Chain A
Amino acid sequence: MALFTINNVIISGISACVPKNEELNSDYNLLTENEKNLLIKTTGIERRRIAQNNTTTSDLCYTSAVALLKKLNWDSSEIDLIIFVSQSPDYYLPATSILLQDRLKLPKTAMAFDINLGCSGYVYGLSVISSLMATAKIKKALLLSGDVSSFSINKKDKSAYPLFGDAGTATALSYKEGCEPIHYNLQSDGGGYEAIIITDGGVRNPINKDSFEETEIEKGITRSKINLKLEGMDIFNFSLREVAPNINNLLSFANKEINSFDFFVMHQANKLMNESIRKKLKIDAEKVPYSLDKYGNTSSASIPLTIVSELKEKLKGEKKNLIISGFGVGLSWASALICTENLICTQVLEYE
């Protein structure tokens, strides 16, 4: 089991950046007025930010990182490790983290690599970066995470298009002896790989001329094999089944009570789904912030983006205990128990 504790690593600051361009679900005319209202009510998503002009995830993460380093008063030369978590990298290869090493002027003595995960990516990313830092006593590191999901989703797919937004975030971590530990529980189930998938473009189904052909799956759902396919019901079932037990097992492992936590930040996918999970865990609504309404599902950016947009003021002082949980594409899911102290957050930045 991937249930473990990491000591001596603390999150020093978080930053988030979204495209300035906004789309409203009330303008999504593939749906009737009635359907729009039901969508907004059920998913909780009113508007989303959509990247334009070939803006990439790395652009959004870069902007976040620059602002964060400035606010923390860190020099790029101090960073020894950078990890980029995304499923919309700049290139198939080389890894985007290395491009960012250069762009951010990190030293050549820094370690840099990518992690290919989505919804679970932030928690997985934290587990990897904090483990490395603890083992190697790395003093300062950056975890950049996010996606420009809009890149892969067909506008004519009503089952996916109105759900996703674009964002990129940066999290700065420090090695600090004696700080509160972080506990993790990470899981996987490849049996559910078809729940969220882009079928063509990798090595399994190489790009060919049929890849671009759009098919009407049913009324209101048209996509090609290079577009994201989302089986909403399967993901819904998976989340209702797996997330709460994962968190309960983590709490048992860490010997903690759920009531001792101040906030529960979930990956922002669907309000009905998240509320169902919240109720299963018997957590009060005021402990569960949402950024879904403003930004939609922002993949591995959703947890840090929600912290920046909803908890910035609440986390800037004394110690606070948080449960964070990401779940989805893979299928992959993970939770962590983190403690913040004097957490420094920027505003949610906008990129044009």
Chain B
Amino acid sequence: MMTLEEFVKNVELEIDDLPPGTLTAEINYRDLETWSSMYALIIIAYVDSTFSVMLTGEDLRNCNTVKDLYNLINSRL
């Protein structure tokens, strides 16, 4: 299982819409100026194809930070 640091970096790369380093483990991703449901779809697709874990819209609503997502994925592996 990749580290939290790697996960944050990979998610930022997948989104491909943020200046590098904008996304951190601790910020509330919904607070990102450019956050949209497109980002949510990209994250869901990335997590599904990388970890075979299916995140739902509900999951993304219940989590706040990338760290939350990372922990959630771990709990479902």
Contact (Cβ within 8 A) A35 B44: no
Binding site for B on A (CB under 8 A): 34-35, 38-39, 41-42, 159, 231-234, 236-237, 240-241, 270, 272-273, 275-276, 279-280
Chain A residue numbers with a CB within 8 Å of B56 are 233-234, 237
Chain B residue numbers with a CB within 8 Å of A276 are 45, 48-49
Contact (Cβ within 8 A) A236 B36: no
Q: How many A-B residue pairs have CB under 8 A?
A: 51
CA distance A272 to B49 in the complex (A): 11
**CB nearest neighbor in A for B56:** A237
Contact (Cβ within 8 A) A273 B45: yes
Asked if B13 is an interface residue, CB under 8 A from chain A, the answer is no
Size of interface on B: residues with Cβ below 8 Å to A: 17
Selected from B36, B38, B44, the residue in CB contact (under 8 A) with A240 is B44
Besides the contacts A233-B56, A280-B49, what 17 more A-B pairs have beta carbons closer than 8 Å? Answer: A34-B17, A35-B36, A38-B17, A38-B38, A41-B16, A42-B41, A42-B42, A232-B41, A233-B57, A234-B56, A236-B45, A237-B56, A240-B44, A240-B45, A240-B54, A270-B41, A276-B45
**CB nearest neighbor in B for A270:** B41
A-B pairs with beta carbons under 8 Å apart, 14 shown: A38-B17, A39-B38, A42-B42, A231-B57, A233-B44, A233-B56, A233-B60, A234-B56, A236-B41, A237-B56, A272-B41, A272-B42, A273-B41, A276-B48
Chain B residue numbers with a CB within 8 Å of A275 are 45
**Contact A279/B49 with A38-B17, A233-B56, A240-B54 known, Cβ cut-off 8 Å:** yes
Asked if B34 is an interface residue, CB under 8 A from chain A, the answer is yes
Chain B, residues 50-66, CB within 8 Å of chain A (1/0): the string is 00001011001000000
Contact (Cβ within 8 A) A233 B40: yes
CA distance A102 to B36 in the complex (A): 48
Majority secondary structure, A binding face: helix
**CB nearest neighbor in B for A279:** B49
Majority secondary structure, B binding face: helix
CA distance A134 to B17 in the complex (A): 52
CA distance A313 to B56 in the complex (A): 40
Binding site for A on B (CB under 8 A): 16-17, 34, 36-38, 40-42, 44-45, 48-49, 54, 56-57, 60
**CB nearest neighbor in B for A234:** B57
With both chains docked as a complex, state the minimum distance between the C-beta of A269 and any C-beta of chain B, in angstroms.
Answer: 12
Chain A residue numbers with a CB within 8 Å of B40 are 233
Contact (Cβ within 8 A) B36 A233: no
CA distance A240 to B34 in the complex (A): 25
Contact (Cβ within 8 A) B54 A233: no
**CB nearest neighbor in B for A42:** B38
Chain B residue numbers with a CB within 8 Å of A234 are 56-57
Chain B residue numbers with a CB within 8 Å of A240 are 44-45, 48, 54
CA distance A275 to B46 in the complex (A): 11
CA distance A51 to B37 in the complex (A): 28
Chain B residue numbers with a CB within 8 Å of A38 are 17, 34, 36, 38
Q: Which of A237, A270, A272 has the most CB of B within 10 A?
A: A237
Contact (Cβ within 8 A) A237 B44: yes
Chain A residue numbers with a CB within 8 Å of B60 are 233
With both chains docked as a complex, state the minimum distance between the C-beta of B40 and any C-beta of chain A, in angstroms.
Answer: 6
